[in-house]
Chains A and B, each alone.
Chain A
C-alpha cells in the first residue's frame, strides 16, 4: 500500500528486494481473504458477508471512477458479488482474492462501457450524459473564505481528473485506478488485466501523463 503522497511506504528498501520478496514468499493461501473465500466455498455464509462488507465499497468506488455514475456503479458492484456467489464452487485460490475480485469488476465495467451507454468520444472532453461528477460538486462551498477556495480548487481538480479518466483508454484507466486507489502493485494489476508488469508500467505512465496534461494549469499554479 502507498502513503498519501503516492510513494510506497517501504522505499528505504531496494525495490528489487521488495518485488522478489513478494514473488517468492507470497502464496495465495497466505491471503486471509482467500481463506474467507475458501470458507465460503465450504458453505460458510458469514465469510461471504465479511468479504462483501470489506470489498463492496472499493468495488463501488472503482466502478464509479470507471463509469462515472454512482447508480450504475452500485449495480455493477452488486453484479460482481452475485458472480462471486454463483462461482463459489469454481473458485480456485490461484491469486490474491482482491485481484480475482477486481478482475471480475473490470470485466463487468468493460461490458457496461461496451454496451455503448457510457462510451465517450476520444475527441470529446465532455463526460457521458448521465455523468454525475464528483459527489462534492453538488454542494458548492462558500468561496469567500480561504478554506472555501481550497475546497473549490479541490472540486475543480476532482472534476478534471474524472474527465481525464473518461478520456483515456480503458486499460489505462483500470491500471491507474487499481494502482492508485486500491494500492495494487504492478504485478497485481497485471493479473487483473491479464497482462505483464512491463505493460502495466507503460499503462500507468501514459495515464499519469494524460492526467498531468489535463491538470497542467492547476499544477502550474502550485508552482507560482
Chain B
C-alpha cells in the first residue's frame, strides 16, 4: 500500500478498528516508513490532547433543576398509550437509518409510478373535465404549481398514457384539415396509431398541456414535511 493509502488507515489503526489483515499491513509499512511513522505520532498526539480535555462539571443546581423540571413536566405530561399506527410509524423511522431512507423513498416513488401506470392502463370511457382537487387535501400540503393548476391531477391518467404515444411527433406535424389547409387529410398521411384509435384527438387539448409536465416533477420532488428531521 502507498503512503497515501496507509495514512487513511492510521486513525483506525490506532483505534484498534482495523481488521487483522489491514492492521498487519499498516504495521509493516510503519516499520519501514519514517514519514508515515511521524504522521502516526502526530495523530497519537492529537488523540491525546483530545482525550485529555478537561471535562466540565455540571453546575451545582443542575441535578436539582432537572428533578424540579421532571416534577413539573413529568407529572403533567404522563405518557399516553401509543396507538398502533404511531407505533408502526415510529418503528419504521427508527428502523431506517439516514442512508437507508434514500432507497426507501426511491422505492416508494417507483411503486407510486407503477400503480399510476396500472391505473392508467384501464380504458377511460369518456374524457372527464378537470375536477377540483379533493376537499380534504390541505392547501398547505399542495405544491404551489398544483395549487395554481388543479386540473393537472385530473389529467394525470391521460398524461401517463403519453408513454404509449410512440408517434407523438408525427401527430404534432400532421396537418389537420381546417382553415389553413385546403387539402383534406386522408388515412395515408395519418400515423397508423392515430388511424387505429382516433380517440386520441379527444385528448388533444389535454396533450397540449405537455408543456406543464415540468410541474409533475415538482409534485414528485416536493419535500415531505418532517422527512429531513427523520433522516437525523
Kindly state the separation between the CA atoms of A24 and B198 in the bound complex, as whole angstroms: 67
A195 touching B99, Cβ below 8 Å: yes
Find A86's partner among B11, B14, B79 (CB 8 Å cutoff).
B79
Find A215's partner among B15, B19, B46, B97 (CB 8 Å cutoff).
B46
Contact with B along A57-77 (1 / 0, CB 8 A): 100110011000010011001
List the A side residues contacting B14 at CB < 8 Å.
Answer: 6-7
Contact with B along A175-219 (1 / 0, CB 8 A): 010011100011000000111110101001100100110010001
B54 touching A110, Cβ below 8 Å: no
Known: A7-B14, A74-B59, A194-B98. A158 touches B20 (CB 8 A): no
Contact with A along B190-209 (1 / 0, CB 8 A): 00000000000000000000
Find B54's partner among A7, A17, A88, A134 (CB 8 Å cutoff).
A134
Count of residues in A whose CB is under 8 Å from the partner chain = 67
Decide if A119 is an interface residue (CB 8 Å cutoff): no
Decide if B25 is an interface residue (CB 8 Å cutoff): no
| Min distance, Cβ A224 to any Cβ of chain B, angstroms | 13
A157 touching B16, Cβ below 8 Å: no
- Which of B64-72, B163-171, B216-224 faces chain A? B64-72
A181 touching B51, Cβ below 8 Å: yes
Known: A8-B16, A61-B56, A74-B59. A205 touches B8 (CB 8 A): yes
Interface of A is mostly: helix
List the B side residues contacting A60 at CB < 8 Å.
Answer: 56, 58, 62
| Min distance, Cβ A100 to any Cβ of chain B, angstroms | 10
A5 touching B44, Cβ below 8 Å: yes
A161 touching B53, Cβ below 8 Å: yes
Interface of B is mostly: helix
Kindly state the separation between the CA atoms of A53 and B58 in the bound complex, as whole angstroms: 11
List the A side residues contacting B98 at CB < 8 Å.
Answer: 193-195
Q: CB-nearest residue of chain B relative to A13?
A: B16
List the B side residues contacting A161 at CB < 8 Å.
Answer: 49-50, 53
Known: A15-B23, A201-B17. A194 touches B232 (CB 8 A): yes
Find A16's partner among B20, B70, B74, B97 (CB 8 Å cutoff).
B20
Which residues of chain B in 26-66 are interfacial with respect to chain A, using CB atoms and an 8 Å cutoff? 38, 42-59, 62-63, 65-66
B232 touching A196, Cβ below 8 Å: no
Kindly state the separation between the CA atoms of A10 and B16 in the bound complex, as whole angstroms: 9
List the A side residues contacting B81 at CB < 8 Å.
Answer: 89
List the B side residues contacting A204 at CB < 8 Å.
Answer: 11-12, 15
Kindly state the separation between the CA atoms of A60 and B15 in the bound complex, as whole angstroms: 24
Decide if B122 is an interface residue (CB 8 Å cutoff): no
Which residues of chain A in 80-100 are interfacial with respect to chain B, using CB atoms and an 8 Å cutoff? 81-82, 85-90
A90 touching B52, Cβ below 8 Å: no
Kindly state the separation between the CA atoms of A8 and B69 in the bound complex, as whole angstroms: 39
| Min distance, Cβ A28 to any Cβ of chain B, angstroms | 14
Nearest 3 A/B pairs, CB to CB: A6-B47, A194-B97, A8-B16
Interface, chain A (partner B; CB < 8 A): 2, 4-8, 10-11, 14-19, 52-53, 56-57, 60-61, 64-65, 70, 73-74, 77-78, 81-82, 85-90, 106-107, 110, 134-136, 154, 157-158, 161, 176, 179-181, 185-186, 193-197, 199, 201, 204-205, 208, 211-212, 215, 219, 222-223
A-B contacts, 11 listed (Cβ < 8 Å):
A2-B51, A5-B47, A6-B15, A10-B16, A16-B19, A82-B73, A89-B79, A135-B54, A186-B17, A194-B98, A219-B46
